[in-house]
Amino acid sequence: MMLARESDLFNDVLWPKVWDLYKRDCIPHAYLIYDLVYEYDKTKVLLSYNEGEIKSYVLVWRSGNHIAIHLWGKEYREVLRQEFIRNLLRERFEEVVFQIHEPTAINDVMNLPRTSEIGGNQVRVEEFYDMGVTEQDFQACEPMIATRLNYMNNEHVKSFMKLKKIQGKPINELEASEMIKKNLYHGVFVNNELVSIAGVYLRLRGCWIIGDVFTHPNHRGRGYAKAVTSAVTQKALDISGNSYLHVRVDNSPAINAYTRLGYKALSKKTWILIH
* Domain CATH for 214: 3.40.630.30
Q: Does residue 127 fall inside a structural domain?
A: no
Residue 121 has what pLDDT? 46
pLDDT digits (tens, 9 = 90+) for 77-88: 777 777 777 777
Cβ pair 109, 71 in contact under 8 A? yes
Same domain, 108 and 149: no
* Claim to verify: residue 57 and residue 10 sit in the same structural domain: yes
| Whether residues 75 and 50 fall in one domain | yes
Instruction: Provide the H-helix boundaries in 144-243.
Output: 154-167, 173-183, 224-240
- Whether residue 272 lies inside any domain: the answer is no
For 93-120, what is the mean pLDDT? 74
DSSP state, residue 119: -
Given a cut of 50, whether residue 127 has pLDDT beyond it is yes
Q: Of 212, 237, 238, 206, which Cα lies nearest the Cα of 225?
A: 212
Q: At residue 228, what is the residue type?
A: V
* In a domain? residue 129: no
Whether 194 and 168 map to the same domain: the answer is yes
Count the domains in the chain.
2
Q: Which of 168, 126, 128, 130 is nearest to 274 (CA)?
A: 126
Q: pLDDT averaged over the chain?
A: 89
What confidence score (pLDDT) does residue 120 get? Answer: 46
pLDDT digits (tens, 9 = 90+) for 228-261: 999 999 999 999 999 999 999 999 999 999 999 9
Please check whether residues 162 and 249 belong to one and the same domain: yes
Phi, psi of 55 (to 5 degrees): -95, -40
DSSP H helices, 171-223, are 173-183
Q: Based on the fold, state whether residues 259 and 142 are members of the same structural domain.
A: yes
> Are 259 and 160 within one domain?
yes
Q: Which residues contact 3 (CB under 8 A, 6 or more apart)?
A: 46, 47, 48, 49, 78, 79, 82
Residue range 16-44: average pLDDT?
Answer: 93
Question: Rounded to an integer, what distance in angstroms lies between the CA atom of residue 260 and that of residue 272?
Answer: 28
Q: What is the pLDDT of residues 132-154, one digit of tens each?
A: 999 999 999 887 899 999 999 99
Range of the domain at 251: 134-266
Q: Does the structure show a pLDDT above 60 at 117? A: no
Are 142 and 96 found together in one domain?
Answer: no
pLDDT at position 114 is: 60
Domain membership of residue 183 (yes or no) is: yes
Averaged pLDDT, 53-70: 90
Which whole number is the average pLDDT over 14-21? 93
- pLDDT for 118: 52
DSSP 94: S
Q: Among 108-122, 172-186, 207-221, 257-271, which is the least confidently predicted range?
A: 108-122
User: Do residues 158 and 244 share a domain?
Assistant: yes
Rg (CA), the chain: 19
Contact status, residue 129 vs residue 255, Cβ threshold 8 Å: yes
172 plus 258 within the same structural domain: yes
CA nearest to 186, candidates 149, 226, 158, 150: 149
Q: Which of 71, 87, 117 is the last residue of a domain?
A: 117
Q: Is 50 exceeded by the pLDDT of residue 106?
A: yes
pLDDT of residue 113: 61
Range from 6-20, 24-38, 239-253 carrying the lowest mean pLDDT? 6-20
pLDDT tens string 180-203: 999 999 999 999 999 999 999 999
- Residues 38 and 145 grouped into a single domain: no
Q: In this structure, what CATH number is given to the domain that contains residue 28?
A: 3.40.630
Do residues 26 and 35 touch, judged by C-beta distance below 8 A? no
